[in-house]
Structure 1
Amino acid sequence: MTSRSHNQGATLPIGHDPTPQRTIPTAVELRETYHNRLDTEIDRAMTAFQDLIASCEISDRTSNARAEYQTQVEAANLANSADQLLRLISELKIAAITQNIPEIKSENRTMQVFFDQTGRKMLKEILTLRDETAKTLRLLEKHYYESSTTWYPDQPSPEPSQ
């Protein structure tokens, strides 16, 4: 079965996407791309700054107005280069965060296992303590009710029988 694409005059099989598939870049490719962009943006900023300094030098007093406009243009170029550099830095921060997501997930899983084990251990200890406390309380109650002498806290303690 074939269908006709509206954008092209070609016949394509049904289910075939005429748009090319985007591949996800690897970390090395991303690093290389960002490194190249960073170099380019720094070069642009340096060139804009050098041009700004060069346009500020007055060589002829009669061309002062033209030099002033040239200085404004170069200052705008420098501001644009700085803006692009800040955007690149922002992208690098986002990329650094997203690249570490698998590491963060792994660390979270490790911590979750640790806390689960610690929680189970603490629950076991609490239950053991509860059982020991209940056992001791029953023993104390037994001794209290079986004792021949009843002692109350506001009375002096009974003398031990010999």
Structure 2
Amino acid sequence: MNKGGPGGGGPTAAAAAAAAQKQKTLLQRVEGDIANIVDNFSHLVNVARVNDPPVRNSQEAFMMEMRAARMVQAADSLLKLVSELKQTAIFSGFASLNDHVEQRRLEFNQLAEKTDHTLSTIGEEAAASLKELESHYSSSAQKTIQDVQP
């Protein structure tokens, strides 16, 4: 796991910069889409008044259809943006989860190394104690008595 150090470089700093840029882009898209919806809705309301000349009404109907289509496009863009935000949240969640798993893996590797070292130390101490006990037994009076009796 390579974290950016005091120098400010590294993958973490690059990821933070990319995330900030993406957030800025997404906010601009949201503002643009919402402004588009509001603008087209206000034009729809203005065009929706009833007039007597039939030519004027057909022009207004066309304008209303055009504005409604633009509103639908902006709403669709917002829905895609929401979907993209959900995917980003999911993927950033996976990245965070992966970082946590990597951290735990390193901790467990260190614990395994420490345990292996402790077990080898215990084994060495047990072997040394066993040799010492064998030497005491072989030099003890009990052993010499058992060797003489059979």
TM-score (norm 1): 0.48
Q: Which amino acid aligns with 1:67?
A: E
Specify which of 53, 63, 68 is matched with residue 70 of structure 1: 63
Matched, 1:104 2:101: no
State the Cα distance separating 1:110 from its structure 2 match. Answer: 6.7
**More helix per residue:** 2
Alpha-carbon distance between aligned partners in 2 of 1:52 and 1:46, rounded to the nearest angstrom: 10
Alpha-carbon distance between aligned partners in 2 of 1:34 and 1:100, rounded to the nearest angstrom: 18
TM-score (norm 2): 0.52
State the Cα distance separating 1:111 from its structure 2 match. Answer: 7.3
Specify which of 82, 86, 93 is matched with residue 86 of structure 2: 93
Question: How large is the RMSD of aligned CA atoms in angstroms?
Answer: 2.6
Q: Which amino acid aligns with 1:55?
A: V
Q: Which amino acid aligns with 1:48?
A: N
Secondary structure of the structure 2 residue equivalent to 1:94: helix
Specify which of 26, 39, 42 is matched with residue 50 of structure 1: 42
Q: Which amino acid aligns with 1:102?
A: A
Extract unaligned runs of 5+ from structure 2: 1-13, 112-150
Contact 1:56–1:67, Cα closer than 8 Å, also in 2: yes
Secondary structure of the structure 1 residue equivalent to 2:67: helix
Summarize the alignment of residues 1-162 of structure 1 with structure 2, pairs less than 5 Å apart. 26-58=18-50, 60-62=51-53, 63-108=56-101
Q: Which amino acid aligns with 1:66?
A: Q
Q: Which amino acid aligns with 1:36?
A: Q
Matched residues, number: 92
Alpha-carbon distance between aligned partners in 1 of 2:87 and 2:24, rounded to the nearest angstrom: 16
Secondary structure of the structure 1 residue equivalent to 2:24: helix
Percent of pairs identical after alignment?
23
State the Cα distance separating 1:41 from its structure 2 match. Answer: 1.0
State the Cα distance separating 1:101 from its structure 2 match. Answer: 2.3
